[in-house]
């Protein structure tokens, strides 16, 4: 690794022993991936994937205590992933006990650490930190030190920023010293596509299903997607951005995609077009039959596959304002058609705290609550990832939640039919 004099000075301990160790960790991390240089983090804000205080991760919080005790100066303030707990989300007494007394016992301690390390605000716990209401929106070409896979995918692909798929802790370390190792998605070559995905469906593909198909096929490679502009248009408007948010989260979790290009739509594809495609790129054709095949391959993890759903989570990744309004209208219409007043399954919509505030000031909030839907700012994955919740038959439209938990995936249309009573599960 060739370091600049300033980077070498940090490594040599000029800023103190702890920053030197942080720098050493980043250098070793970079060397593992063949990085030859460290580059400055240029994004205005960092983002950390660890937002939860669980006992199993006590060594992480001990480590952060050491950074704070050493007076480590954090070069970049940051936002963080969603919080794990919200009393509005239905839970039984046993779950409450497990969540608060055992699982998330370190939560208070960790949130206090985050504030002291440079968390921007208590309102900024969301995986969709790039929403206008939150404001952590990197510029094109910015170098980032993030780790949340859905946010990294969005920043790289939709915003044209540059970020590797780092891990928790590494994200905070990069924000602390202000440098990250240069490899992979930070380089021009690493951003070229080794796959061409041809979308040839007869209708707009479900974002979370297409993302799943692409992720499982290309894994950690970069795909160049043709044919999606037929369904999304060529303008990165609110609808296209929400679609790509959901598509990217599914591709990042069902595979390990950190960057994708959509022909005529995403910034680098618009600028460089087919020049982004590597000469020996492989081709993956996605048609209706392929999406059906992928969908049919999902295992049902429920103990009783015929159980009635007990809970429904929508909003992984967090929902945009437009998605909240859209769901409200569709639920109202569906309930009107079936002559019902409330959704048939306890349902939680999750979004960023700042979006929630704005939504609550607008006309749709009362209308949505009238359908029985509960609004929250949590991460559904953190609700699901324990033995008690695992046993619950939970449904979702999120392919990320399906992948990491026992939740069962349904398309938006199917969820709507279940919630409005048009179709029994």
Binding residues for ligand F3S (CB under 6 A)? 81-82, 127, 150, 249, 316-318, 379-381, 400
Nearest approach, Cβ of residue 380 and ligand F3S (Å): 6
Of 331 and 379, which has the nearer Cβ to ligand F3S?
Answer: 379
Nearest approach, Cβ of residue 270 and ligand F3S (Å): 26
Q: How many CB atoms lie within 10 A of CB 51?
A: 25
Question: In terms of Cα–Cα distance, which of 223, 175, 215 is closest to 195?
Answer: 223
Nearest approach, Cβ of residue 126 and ligand F3S (Å): 8
Of 60 and 316, which has the nearer Cβ to ligand F3S?
Answer: 316
Of 124 and 290, which has the nearer Cβ to ligand F3S?
Answer: 124
Nearest approach, Cβ of residue 146 and ligand F3S (Å): 12
Of 253 and 328, which has the nearer Cβ to ligand F3S?
Answer: 253
How far is it, in rounded angstroms, from Cα 35 to Cα 298?
Answer: 37
Of 22 and 169, which has the nearer Cβ to ligand F3S?
Answer: 169
How far is it, in rounded angstroms, from Cα 251 to Cα 354?
Answer: 26
How far is it, in rounded angstroms, from Cα 98 to Cα 85?
Answer: 12
Nearest approach, Cβ of residue 109 and ligand F3S (Å): 21
CA distances from 360 to 126, 160, 323 (A): 17, 32, 14
Of 134 and 281, which has the nearer Cβ to ligand F3S?
Answer: 134
What would the 3-class secondary structure string for 140-184 be? CCCECCCCCHHHHHHHHHCCCCECCCCCCCHHHHHHHHCEEECCH
Nearest approach, Cβ of residue 361 and ligand F3S (Å): 23
How far is it, in rounded angstroms, from Cα 204 to Cα 210?
Answer: 10
Three-state DSSP at 68 gives helix
């Amino acid at each position: 690794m060739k370091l600049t004099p300033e980077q070498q000075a940090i490594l040599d301990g000029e800023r103190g022993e702890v920053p030197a160790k942080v720098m050493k960790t980043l250098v070793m991390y970079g060397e593992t991936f063949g990085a030859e240089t460290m580059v400055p983090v240029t994004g205005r804000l960092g983002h950390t994937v660890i937002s939860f205080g669980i006992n199993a991760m006590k060594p992480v919080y001990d480590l952060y205590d050491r950074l704070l005790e050493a007076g480590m100066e954090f070069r970049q303030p940051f936002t963080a992933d969603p919080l794990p707990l919200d009393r509005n989300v239905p839970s039984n007494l046993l779950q409450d006990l497990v969540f608060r007394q055992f699982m998330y016992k370190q939560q208070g301690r960790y949130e206090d650490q985050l504030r002291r390390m440079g968390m921007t605000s208590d309102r900024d716990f969301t995986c969709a930190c790039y929403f206008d209401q939150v404001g952590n929106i990197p510029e094109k070409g910015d170098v980032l030190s993030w780790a949340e896979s859905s946010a990294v995918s969005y920043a790289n692909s939709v915003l044209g920023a540059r970020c590797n798929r780092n891990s928790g802790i590494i994200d905070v370390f990069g924000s602390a010293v202000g440098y990250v190792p240069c490899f992979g998605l930070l380089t021009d070559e690493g951003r070229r596509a080794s796959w061409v995905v041809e979308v040839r469906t007869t209708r707009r593909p479900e974002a979370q299903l297409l993302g799943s198909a692409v992720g499982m096929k290309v894994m950690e490679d970069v795909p160049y997607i043709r044919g999606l502009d037929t369904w999304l248009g060529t303008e990165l408007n609110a609808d296209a951005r929400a679609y790509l948010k959901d598509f990217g989260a599914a591709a990042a979790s069902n595979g390990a995609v950190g960057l994708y290009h959509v022909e005529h739509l995403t910034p680098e594809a618009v600028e460089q077009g087919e020049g982004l495609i590597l000469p020996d790129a492989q081709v993956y054709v996605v048609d209706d039959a392929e999406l059906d095949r992928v969908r049919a391959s999902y295992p049902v993890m429920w103990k009783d596959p015929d159980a009635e759903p007990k809970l429904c989570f929508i909003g992984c990744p967090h929902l945009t304002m437009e998605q909240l309004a859209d769901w409200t209208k569709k639920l109202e219409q569906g309930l009107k058609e079936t002559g019902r007043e409330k959704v048939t399954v306890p349902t939680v919509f999750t979004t960023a705290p700042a979006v929630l505030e704005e939504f609550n000031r607008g006309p749709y909030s009362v209308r949505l609550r009238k359908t029985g839907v509960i609004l929250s700012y949590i991460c559904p994955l953190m609700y699901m990832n324990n033995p008690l919740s695992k046993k619950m038959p939970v449904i979702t439209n999120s392919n990320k939640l399906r992948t990491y938990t026992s939740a069962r995936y349904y398309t938006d249309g199917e969820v709507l039919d279940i919630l409005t009573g048009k179709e029994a599960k």
